[in-house]
Amino acid sequence: MEITIMLTILAAYVLGSCTSAVLIAKVFQLPDPRSTGSANPGATNVFRIGGKIPAIIVLVLDLLKGSIAVYSAHELGLSDAWLGIVAIAVCLGHMYPIFYHFSGGKGVATAFGCLMPLGFNIIVTLTMVWIITYRLFRYSSLAALVTVGIAPLATYFFNPKYTLAVSMLAVLIIWRHQHNITRLLQGSEPKV
């Protein structure tokens, strides 16, 4: 079982390292999102430089990375704690991809994808939190941070056995947004 766990964690990291934004930018002949716009290879930046269609594709692929990793680990019989580690591994792959000199994204969509196997109620709640926050303030990063902050509470309410794993994931995502937090406090964060 230990070999299965280690291989699953490694596979999750490698899957996370497949940076959708860079690949889709090449397909659509867009500038490299790591050096254009916000320099973040994620759906929001791809939207800024390429529009809706490439951004939606990036979003879907990033969601799939997280959900495939966690769902596969669940099907392999890994415990709840190990599912949390697998979720962190796929997000770390997205943030620090081995294929792209460890220069990756913020991991929001991938983390959200990790939560998808946990239940419909959690996903609907977090989606509504993101939409409401974004509509009110027009900051994608703020909407992501508020949603990530609510995620452990929503998990505790709907599926409490995963609260610790989701909390660890939330801390990782918030830490990765430290520059966004600084810009939000200074009033210099770009709106989308």
pLDDT of residue 156: 96
pTM exceeding the 0.95 threshold for the entire prediction: no
Residue-level pLDDT at 91: 97
pLDDT, position 167? 94
| pLDDT for res 190 | 84
Task: For the chain, list residues with pLDDT below 50.
Answer: none
Give the tens place of pLDDT for each residue, 118-165: 899 999 999 999 999 999 999 999 999 999 999 999 999 999 999 988
Average pLDDT, whole number, for the chain? 94
Domain locations in the chain as residue ranges: 2-186
Best CA proximity match to 118, nearest among 150, 87, 76, 149: 87
Q: What pLDDT score does 170 carry? A: 95
pLDDT at residue number 80: 86
Rounded Cα–Cα distance for residues 14 and 78 (Å): 18
